[in-house]
Chains A and B, each alone.
Chain A
Amino acid sequence: MALKILLVITHNGQSIDDQVHNAVTACLQLDVNYHAMVLGHDCQSVIDEARKMKGLQKLFFLEHVSLEFGLAEPSAESISQFISDYDYILFPSNTTSKNILPRLAALQNISPITDVCEIVDKDDRIFKRPIYAGNIIETVQSEQDINILSIRSASFTKTPISSEANVDIEHISPDLSSIQSKHLGCEITKLDRPDLVGAKVVVSGGRGLGSVESFQLIYDFADCLDAAVGASRAAVDAGFVSNDYQVGQTGKIIAPDVYYAIGISGAIQHMAGMKDSRIIIAINKDADAPIFKSCDYGLVADLFDVVPKLVKHLKK
C-alpha cells in the first residue's frame, strides 16, 4: 500500500537547509513520491529550489508573516492542521526542526522518533536512532498510525535536486489567530568563522595545546582550510577556549567530511561528538593515544613542531 508522506522543508529564508536533501533520501526509501511543505514569508528562492526536489508530487507553501523566522509556535500550529492526511511526517534533523517538531507532536498527542539513522521496516514502523551520543543504537517500534520522524543527515546520502521544476504549488494562508505566544524580536547573528555544526572541515584542539596562546595554532591551521574550530572538553575545562567550541557528548555532535583532532587523546566523551566524521585525522605525540585506534590518518609527532609546518605546506 502506498504511504502518504509529508516532508517539512526547513530553510533560512534564502535557500533550503542542506540537511533537507538527506531527508529527501529517507522519503524516497518510504515511497516513490511524497508531498512537501515550506513555511515562511516572502521566500520565492526557497520555493523555486524546493520545486526541483526529486520525487516531489505536491508542494504546499504556507505563507504568513509570523512564519518568517521559523518560530516554533506558529510553525507547529500551521503544520498540525495537515497531520491527519499523512502516514509519515518527516523533518531534516537540525536546530529548526528540533525547535518545532516536538511541539507539533505534543499538539497531536504523537510520540515522535527523532534523529532516525535507519528505517528498518516502514510498514511495521521500526526505526533505529542513536542514543548516548551515538555510543549505542536503539531500535524502536511505533504503535502509532501517524508518525513524525526527524532524519539524521549523517546517516542518509543526499538526493540531488533535478534541473527542472516538477510540481505546482498550493499556496495556503494558515489561520494563526489561536496563537497566544508572542515574539517580539528575532535576528540571526552570524559567527565570524564557519559554524561548527554543518562545517565541512573542522579542526579541533585538545589539552595538548597547553595554553590559550598556543591555541592560536589551531585557528591558523583552520584558516588555511576554511575550517570551523572545535575543542575537546579537556581544552575547554583547561580554559583554552570557551565551551561553545566543545565537541563531544555534552557539547556539539558533528559529522564533517574531514575532522582534525590535534593534541586530543580521544576520550569517549569526545569521540561521541565526532566519530561519524567521514575522515578523521589525528596528530598526537603519544603513540598510545586512543584516538589513533579510530582515525583514518594519524601522525605521531609533537604538534608544536608539525602544525606550523602543515600551515606552511598549505599556504604553498
Chain B
Amino acid sequence: MKVLVPLKRVIDYNVVVQIDSSQKNVVTDHVKMSINPFDEIALEEAVRLHESGVIDEVVVVSVGSELSQEQLRQGLAMGAHRAILISCDDAVANDPLSVAKILSTLVTRDDYDFVLMGKQAIDNDCNQTGQMLAGLLKWPQATFASKISFSTDEISVSREVDGGLDNISCQLPAVVTVDLRLNDPRYISLPNIMMAKSKPLQVESLDDLKLNLTPCLKRISLEFPQPRTSGEIFTDFDLFVKKLDEEEVWR
C-alpha cells in the first residue's frame, strides 16, 4: 500500500506573525519556517504504519515555492521514502481548492491507496483541503483523527468532534485528516538528516500536471485584531474575590 502525505511549509507556531508594508502579506523573510504541525503528525503516523508493515511506501508532497524543498527534506529525514514538489505561486498554494485539485490529479496519476494529511494548516486555518480532495476523488473521508486502526482494506478512525469522539470506519482508498492527539512526532536525528539528502526529490510544475488554476478568492488586506485591554489587577485575594462576586462572574 502506498500513502501520500502532503506537507505545507508554514511559519513556525512559535513566531509572532507580522504584516508587511503592503498590508497584504505576512512577513516571511528571516522567519523560522516549519512543516505544518498537523502535517507532521500525519507523516509520523504514516511512518509508523510503514514501520509496522501496513504501508509499503510513504511519499511526501508539497505544493508551493521551491523553498518548500526544505520541509520535504525534513519529511524525508522523518522517514518518508521520496518527495514531490509541485512548484507553483503562493496564491495557488494558499487556495485549498487549487491544492485539492493538484493532489487529486497526483493521486489519480500515481495511484495512491491512501492520503494522510493534517486537518488544517496553521497559517490560513482553512481546514478544507482534505475534505475537498476526498470529494474530488469521490473517496470516503475521515477527518480530525485521534486514532487510526487498520484491518483488511478497511480503517477505523476515532474523530475529534465537538462534544466527544465520533467513531467511524470506512473502506480504502480514503482520505484521513489528523488532529493533535494522534501521536507525538519524533525528533529527527542527524544521521537521518544526512540520509535524507540522498533520497529522491522530484520537482514538477502545474504544466506537467496539465492544470491551469486560478483561485476565486482574492485577498484584499490583512490587519491585526483589536487588542484586548488590560483590566483590573489585584494583589489582595479578598478584594479580588469581592470584585468577582459583585460582577457575578461565577454564575
- A-to-B contact residues, CB < 8 Å: 12, 17, 69, 71-73, 76, 94-96, 98-107, 109-115, 126, 130-144, 180-191, 195, 197-198, 225, 242-244, 246, 249-251, 258, 268-269, 275, 279-281, 287, 292-301, 305-306, 309-310, 313-314
The answer to whether A139 and B134 have CB atoms under 8 Å apart is no
With A139-B220, A298-B233, A314-B250: A132-B163 Cβ-Cβ less than 8 Å: no
The answer to whether B164 and A195 have CB atoms under 8 Å apart is yes
- The contact of A137 among B37, B222, B234, by CB within 8 Å, is B222
* CA of A295 to CA of B232, assembled, Å: 8
The answer to whether A185 and B169 have CB atoms under 8 Å apart is yes
- The contact of B218 among A140, A184, A190, A305, by CB within 8 Å, is A140
A102-B132, A114-B128 are known; give 20 further A-B pairs, CB within 8 A: A73-B141, A95-B144, A95-B159, A95-B161, A99-B143, A103-B135, A105-B135, A135-B225, A136-B19, A136-B224, A140-B220, A144-B216, A182-B140, A185-B169, A188-B166, A198-B163, A243-B181, A269-B14, A297-B232, A297-B249
* CA of A115 to CA of B227, assembled, Å: 19
With A187-B166, A279-B249, A301-B237: A106-B181 Cβ-Cβ less than 8 Å: no
Stretch at the interface among B42-50, B52-60, B192-200, B239-247: B239-247
The answer to whether B218 and A300 have CB atoms under 8 Å apart is no
Taking CB atoms, residues of chain B closer than 8 Å to A250 are 13, 37-38, 122, 180
- Quick one: closest A residue to B97, CB to CB? A111
The answer to whether A130 and B168 have CB atoms under 8 Å apart is no
Within the complex, the shortest CB–CB distance from A210 to chain B, in Å, comes to: 20
**CB contact list, B173-193 vs A, under 8 A:** 180-181, 184
The answer to whether B220 and A246 have CB atoms under 8 Å apart is no
Smallest CB-CB A-B distances: 10 pairs: A106-B132, A102-B131, A102-B128, A181-B140, A106-B135, A296-B231, A103-B135, A294-B228, A298-B233, A95-B161
Taking CB atoms, residues of chain A closer than 8 Å to B170 are 181-184
Kindly state whether residue B223 has any CB partner on chain A within 8 Å.
yes
* CA of A130 to CA of B123, assembled, Å: 10
Within the complex, the shortest CB–CB distance from A148 to chain B, in Å, comes to: 10
With A142-B217, A197-B162, A299-B237: A135-B224 Cβ-Cβ less than 8 Å: yes
What mask results when residues 191 to 214 of chain B are scored 1 for a CB within 8 Å of chain A, else 0? 000000000000000000000000
**CB contact list, B9-33 vs A, under 8 A:** 11, 13-14, 16-17, 19, 26
* CA of A195 to CA of B243, assembled, Å: 28
- Give the interface SS of chain B, mostly helix, strand, loop or mixed: mixed
- Quick one: closest B residue to A225, CB to CB? B250
Interface size on B, residues (CB 8 A): 82
- The contact of B16 among A180, A246, A268, by CB within 8 Å, is A268
For this complex, 30 residue pairs linking A to B, each with C-beta atoms less than 8 Å apart, are A95-B160, A99-B131, A101-B128, A102-B129, A103-B135, A105-B97, A106-B132, A106-B136, A109-B97, A110-B216, A111-B97, A135-B17, A136-B224, A137-B225, A140-B219, A181-B170, A182-B140, A182-B171, A185-B168, A185-B169, A187-B167, A198-B163, A249-B13, A249-B122, A250-B37, A292-B230, A292-B233, A293-B230, A297-B243, A306-B237
* CA of A17 to CA of B163, assembled, Å: 11
* CA of A169 to CA of B210, assembled, Å: 46
Taking CB atoms, residues of chain A closer than 8 Å to B216 are 110-111, 142-144
- The contact of B163 among A101, A113, A134, A190, by CB within 8 Å, is A190
